[in-house]
């Protein structure tokens, strides 16, 4: 993988972990002991952190270095490792939503599920 690709993948993964942990760049910079410009450079795919900072990131996000540096979207085994990043993000957003919004979302999901046809089923098959 080229340096540009590494920076791109790292930025995507960093954004995902920051979202999951409900953390902005300022908070992350403070916890890491780096400048906000460093975090901004990572998010804008300018560069990636050095090894010591990468280690701190894995401790903050409770993950492995490969979770930050590797493109998991193309890894078929990544689904075996638990919920996808999108599912984790959706769960985090749902958990932080007001109770009235959670009730509406659940109602919509139940309605969609009860009206859902099996994939590929034609109405003439009913």
Mean pLDDT, 10 residues at a time, the chain of 126 residues:
91 93 95 96 95 95 92 61 67 77 80 65 48
* pLDDT of the residue at 102: 78
- SS3 letters across 44-88: CCCCCCCHHHHHHHHHHHCCCHHHHHCCHHHCHHHHHHCCCHHHH
Nearest Cα neighbor of 35 from 53, 21, 18 is 53
| Cα separation, 32 vs 4, whole angstroms | 23
Distance, in Å, from the CA atom of 121 to the CA atom of 126, rounded to the nearest integer, reads 8
| pLDDT value at residue 9 | 94
Q: Say which DSSP state 29 is in.
A: H
Instruction: State the Cα angle at 38 between 36 and 42, rounded to 5°.
Output: 115
Question: What is the pTM assigned to this prediction?
Answer: 0.60
> How far is residue 123's CA from residue 126's CA, in Å, rounded to a whole number?
6
Distance CA 79, CA 81 (A): 5
| pLDDT value of residue 116 | 64
pLDDT of residue 75: 56
């Amino acid at each position: 993988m080229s340096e540009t690709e590494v920076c791109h993948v790292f930025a995507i993964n960093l954004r995902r972990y920051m979202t999951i942990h409900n953390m902005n760049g300022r908070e992350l910079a403070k916890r890491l002991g780096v400048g906000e410009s460093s975090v901004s450079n990572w998010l804008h795919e300018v560069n990636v952190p050095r090894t010591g900072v990468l280690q701190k990131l894995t401790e903050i996000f409770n993950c492995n270095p490969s979770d930050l540096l590797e493109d998991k979207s193309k890894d078929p085994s990544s689904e075996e490792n638990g919920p996808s990043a999108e599912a984790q993000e959706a769960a985090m957003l749902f958990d932080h939503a007001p109770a009235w919004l959670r009730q509406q979302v659940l109602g919509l999901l139940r309605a969609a599920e009860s009206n859902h046809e099996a994939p590929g089923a034609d109405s003439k098959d009913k």
